[in-house]
Structure 1
Amino acid sequence: MNQVLSKIGQVKANIDISGASSARSASLLCELVELQLMQNVMYQLPQSLMPFRQKIFSHYGQDGIIAEIFRRIGDGSRRFVETGVSPAQNNTNLLLLKGWRGLWIDAGLAKDEGLSTNLQILLREGKLKISRKLVNRDNGRTLLSSRGFAEDLDLISIGIDYNTHHIFTELLSLQPRMFCVAYNGMLPADLDWAAPYDAKAVWDGSTLHGATLGTISAAAEAGGYSLVGCELSGTDAFFVRHDLLQGQFLRPGDAMFHWEPLRMHLGQMQRHRSAMPLPA
């Protein structure tokens, strides 16, 4: 605790309080906010995932949480699918570095020749496949199946904003070891609400998109999964298959306990620019 308080004091001392805006000051302020948030006693409870959050390639701390979940439940085929992905910032670059194989799905991904050399090597070696399609409830299973990723999966990460919940419920039957799913942290966990399905819809920047954590968690339980934690930023929730829980997680399935409000400002901390994964 004394070390934490000392760190908070150091951060405060380095924040520009003159009124001048700077990226450095914003980053230090975000670090201070994170340090203070992490003093919440529930994050110190045994089996909590929050102490393991770490940003390497992910937008927030998803990299560390995903790694800790697989440390607890083990990995199988070391295969993943991620929807809504950018090459430099996503939830699965770290897995590629560890030798996993996977499929990225995003209509906005550059053509192969426009990707980094490292990614082009992974594509040629068959360790990474790409689908440049707008994924929705109607085509999700087909996209995965056509590229050989409809079975024997460890992770499915879904973060496409508007239709996330509908795609999640469609892919539940594929039974990966875990899901990482974006939820609407602007709405309370106990509100039962999901955006009406529209196959062509994309997020318009409004509050009404995706689904509440409670709605997603209820669908997960019905499909054989339990909520085991959320990212501090209030963006992603993590679900583990029932047969893999084995008493290793804190209050599984309790959406009210695990819910985090949206804290997009936590992504403002200055860090080294994310690099592309090297071939494993």
Structure 2
Amino acid sequence: MKSFFIKKIENTLLNILAKNNQSIKREINNNQILQKQLFAFYQSLKNDRKKLPIFKNTGFRVFSQNDEDGLFLYIFALIGFTNKICIDIAFGSPYGANVTNLICNWDFTGLLIEGKNTEDSINFFGTHPDTWIYPPKIIKAWVTKDNVNQLIKDNGIVGEIDLFSLDLDGIDYWILKNLNVVSPRVIILEYMNIFGPNIAVTVPYKSDFDRSNIHPDFFGASLGAFVKLGKKKGYRLVGCNKYGFNAFFMRNDLGKKEFPEVSISSCLNHPVVLEGRKNRLPAVKNLGWIAV
């Protein structure tokens, strides 16, 4: 038989775990309630034709790396949802990702693609109280411009979706250029912010591109390149995250009044961006960028 003291320790630990679980559940519920209240507030401002907040001031973090969760909440409060489907290429981890809050707290479903470890993400969504019944599809795959559409189609997604997130730290420009199996209403992508507003360049295409073999700052494309590509595909730049490296694009048939096009310069004025242009650009500016 277990001693009285061991049983007491076990009971104490079980009580602590039970309290922690209840605390976590309360925190989740409170967070969801607050988000829904804020969502409804934004909608009421729009419906009553009252002054809307400035986009960049609506950001906050729940799971995202910086303030992207709040920016998405504001966007979708004003343009609404359709099917609540998202795709995230190079998902990484639930913590720091662009779509986790939408999946956990706003009933989004979709496809998360990661080239490396997927076990942590599968475990996270498989045990989270709001996603375990129907977690998002999570696949391990190396994405190229030649397989991106088939990967998405093979997982049952075609046509219009609410959100497409892209953060490969590599051949992002070429992936987006070839994407045609879905029509995202909103796109978020990381851009190389060390370039000025008038520069439109990308890394050359290579299916096995790996910046770690070249230089940590040789990846992706400048914001100018993505804006040019976005215009060709029917999208406009509507803003960026607070540190100026994640850009938000909206399809041109949506939200033009609430989300007018913004300048490239407005997304390249944070001090960390200006310092990066001064201190980081010299090391990579001659590494073989391609003008587009």
Both proteins in one fold, TM over 0.5:
yes
Equivalent in 183, 192, 207 of residue 199 of structure 1: 207
CA distance 1:61–1:152, change in 2 (3 Å):
same
Is 2:187 aligned against 1:179? yes
**Structure 1 residues 74 and 231: alpha-carbon distance in aligned structure 2, compared to 1, 3 A threshold:** same
Tell me: higher relative CO, structure 1 or 2? Use CA pairs within 8 A at least 6 residues apart.
1
- For 2:244, the equivalent position in structure 1 comes to 234
Q: CA deviation at 1:141?
A: 0.7
Q: Would you say how many aligned residue pairs link Structure 1 and Structure 2?
A: 219
Q: 1:52 aligns with which of 36, 58, 66?
A: 58
- Deviation, structure 1 residue 168: 1.4
| Residue number among 68, 82, 96 corresponding to 1:62 in the alignment | 68
CA-atom RMSD in angstroms: 2.5
**Larger gyration radius, structure 1 or structure 2:** 2
- 2:255 counterpart of 1:245: yes
Q: Deviations over 1:213-237 (max 9, x none)?
A: 0110110011000000011212210
Question: 1:222 is aligned with what amino acid?
Answer: K
* Closer, same or farther: CA 165–154 of 1 in aligned 2, 3 Å: same
Match of 2:47 in 1: none
Deviations 1:71-90 (A, max 9, x none): 12111000000111113220
The verdict on how the C-alpha distance between 1:172 and 1:52 changes in structure 2, with shifts beyond 3 A counting, is farther
Identity %: 24
Structure 1: gaps of 5 or more residues: 1-44, 265-280
Q: How far apart are residue 246 of structure 1 and its match?
A: 2.8
Q: Distance in 2 between matches of 1:113 and 1:241?
A: 29
Q: Distance in 2 between matches of 1:142 and 1:122?
A: 29
Matched with 2:154 is: 146
Q: CA deviation at 1:70?
A: 1.0
2:224 partner SS:
helix
- Displacement of 1:113: 9.5
Aligned to 2:267: 258
TM-score by length of 2: 0.68
> What is the correspondence of 1:68-107 to structure 2 with a 5 Å cutoff?
68-85=74-91, 86-97=93-104, 98-107=106-115
Moved over 6 A (4+): 120-124
- Whole-Å Cα distance in 2 between the matches of residues 113 and 242 of structure 1? 33
Classify the secondary structure of the residue corresponding to 2:257: coil
